[in-house]
Structure 1
């Protein structure tokens, strides 16, 4: 056995795994090692764990994968056609004389290929159906497992390899076994692999509504949201209730809108248990304050307070230090080199006594790990710099490009990111081009339309003047 410092064991926990390719010496399934239902641990000697050939395992029935069945079907359908050359050679060897042998060869050379062509359609009937794509995907995955079985053997379960450092993953982190993982890097690898899973999960990124500092262009601070910000908060609450949690809209006794849970069997589907994160800043808490968070009863029977707000200081806005609360003009006057240095290296520039984008990435890491472990939809209401880093991470954009994503994270816009095992193939790596798994919900026009209605139908330019934008 090849000595290696670190190993990741690709354990095959599926009950329908193919066994058409013989297992190499030393390979054993979870059931044989005692990790499956009713399995007994494999009894091997210490020498076997060091590379000796293990004894014969219990014989199992061989079952072809769909891909192998298709291959065999093609071989069967074309088998008779492949024998035409052999038939012609035998007819040439039999000569021109009329003999029983030449008659049989001639008959077989014509009848058998014709029969194969006419009946080949029946050979493929069992491979049809609506679930053909699912079968093909499952077959492709099993083929990958078979390739691994040809090159690797499972970690021995008899203690002969306990001196090695390894990670054993079962069903993408459903069960994780680690051994001798003491150094910093191995522990970080364990942390990452434990949180990773291929289950589809959706993350919604939303910047807070317009704040008072936004109207004057001041950096940072902890100002409340404006009237326009509260309008977006109302729209966000309805979006979260209908689109994320799938709640039913009902009218209360006072005519105000209310929300209630959709039960199993509802024509529009059952309500969804979801999560909500905000920063500790007042403007994000106010933006998410109107989102309903009823207590749902999932199929497992455990109560779940959907969209219960959780406050994370790790997703607070970048701290501008001595520049907090200043306008760009005031920053240029008090810190003349700040604007120039930040343009030269925006990701590495640290505000005087403040933070840089590298600092944001460092404090975001625990949240990223927790976010990746969720199966439920997650709505994050945070700030522009923070959301740029998260958006770049989820869409496969280099972190050096994250500070330059000027058009991606806008106010009054919700970015829906649907992640699953196929997301990686849609990554563009271009910060200006969104991947296919990103959906943009733009509420900017709705916010402005609502503002005009509440102010008596004034023009948009007048609304902007009132808000102090122009």
Structure 2
């Protein structure tokens, strides 16, 4: 009887995978850092030095108020950035009464109405004694932008034929229209 052959040795990648990784500091010490790169020890020391150099600076109240007003203006103008996008979406959704167009109109009305109700809450973090007078104009612009979005919604509802702006039979004060069968043509 012959003895079974021993299993072949494992491939090199299996041996490398199962062996512990070499210490990177010993292996990488002979390779210089690439240009523009510093080792982690040097970066850590630089950060500590920068943190020590930067003393907590006290900002003046005027600078803080100016930053608050600037941020408030960004919030006030934000709805105007939505008008072109919403206009294109309303145009592309069509004027037929379908669930998609109805949901689009609902969302178009929901956002500005919530924005109008939450106007004071949107600017509450910027409201101080020194900025209160300047915030009145900012809030007015915010309300105008929200009203612009509502006007876009009203335009869409009118385009869908849901506003009673044209003559229709269901309005009580209008006379009844004659059916097409009773109409007489002049050229017959």
TM-score, normalised with respect to structure 2:
0.32
Higher relative contact order (CA 8 A, sep 6+): 2
Larger Rg: 2
TM-score, normalised with respect to structure 1:
0.15
Larger strand percent: 1
